[in-house]
Amino acid sequence: MTVKTILGTNTTTMYRQLTDQAEKYLRSLYQQDDIAGQLKRKLAELMSYGEANADAACGALKLSRRTLQRRLKAERTSFQKVLKEVRAELAINYLRDARLKSLEIAMLLGYSNISTFTTAFKSWYNVPPAEYRQKFLAIS
């Protein structure tokens, strides 16, 4: 499922803005040359295509799963940890956009429902996404 599928067909402007947000996040990651940094960049790109999984990431990085796993382990991390970091950062970026509904954000991040996304967000930031959004938008 692509971002355009999730958001509908008449959302070219919104799609461009979301892509810009993801690219801004990617640029911040380009300072990292290690395999975890490379993986973060690829996962952020792949999320826009609904392909943020280990097989797609390995293909994009031109590495076998075992090689990726071994290199991440050498950096004291794992695929799941890196995926979680990317989702956590993008979640904040997406929540800042008041036009995006929670379900849309959940789908953009690869979650099948709001409940799973809310649980993950609370584990990252100790506050539900709706409460974070209220506090953030109140400050802005």
- For the chain, percent of residues with pLDDT exceeding 90: 64
Q: What does the pLDDT average to over 28-40?
A: 78
pLDDT of residue 136: 78
- Is residue 120 over pLDDT 90? yes
What is the rounded distance in angstroms from the CA atom of residue 94 to the CA atom of residue 92?
Answer: 5
Residue 118 has pLDDT above 60, yes or no: yes
The larger pLDDT score, comparing residue 21 to residue 106, is at 106
In whole angstroms, give the CA distance from residue 23 to residue 114.
Answer: 24
Helices (H), the chain: 3-7, 12-29, 35-47, 54-61, 65-74, 79-95, 102-108, 114-125, 129-139
Token pair of 117 as six digits: 């996304």
Considering only CA atoms, which of 35, 49, 40 is closest in space to residue 5? 49
> DSSP secondary-structure letter at 34?
S
Structure tokens at 85: 């970091």
**Residue-wise pLDDT tens digits, 81-101:** 999 999 999 999 999 988 899
Which pLDDT value is given to residue 10? Answer: 54
